[in-house]
Amino acid sequence: KAGVTQTPRYLIKTRGQQVTLSCSPISGHRSVSWYQQTPGQGLQFLFEYFSETQRNKGNFPGRFSGRQFSNSRSEMNVSTLELGDSALYLCASTASGRDTGELFFGEGSRLTVL
């Protein structure tokens, strides 16, 4: 079974630009969540999607948005990039069930904003 795949793995942008990151979950997983990882801040929850609907959202500005497609693939978009947006963006998928379970992470997309 293929794992969670994120593209691109690395990217460099300049302030003011926008970026779109993609995440393909494990086959059969319908929940996809996104996290921002920075040194000292750990893993900060961005949002979670299930069946094309955003179920949960973290405390990030509106410049951060996402969506999920009917095949469960998800994208996140950051507009008007700021230097502080430089981070590793991780997505994770999980098998939906009655009880919350294990997150399976991708390798991440490392964004550098110059």
Q: Which of 2, 59, 70, 84 binds other proteins (CB under 8 A)?
A: 59
Binding window for other proteins (CB under 8 A); candidates: 14-22, 63-71, 72-80, 99-107: 99-107
User: Which residue in the set 1, 2, 42, 84 belongs to the binding site for other proteins (CB under 8 A)?
Assistant: 42
SS3 25: coil
CA distance 104 to 81: 27
SS3 85: helix
User: Contact between 22 and other proteins (CB under 8 A)?
Assistant: no
* CB neighbour list of residue 26: distance below 8 Å, 6 or more residues apart: 1, 2, 3, 4, 93, 95, 104
What is the contact surface with other proteins in residues (CB under 8 A)?
31, 33, 35, 40-45, 48, 50, 55-56, 58-59, 90, 94, 96-100, 102-103, 105-108
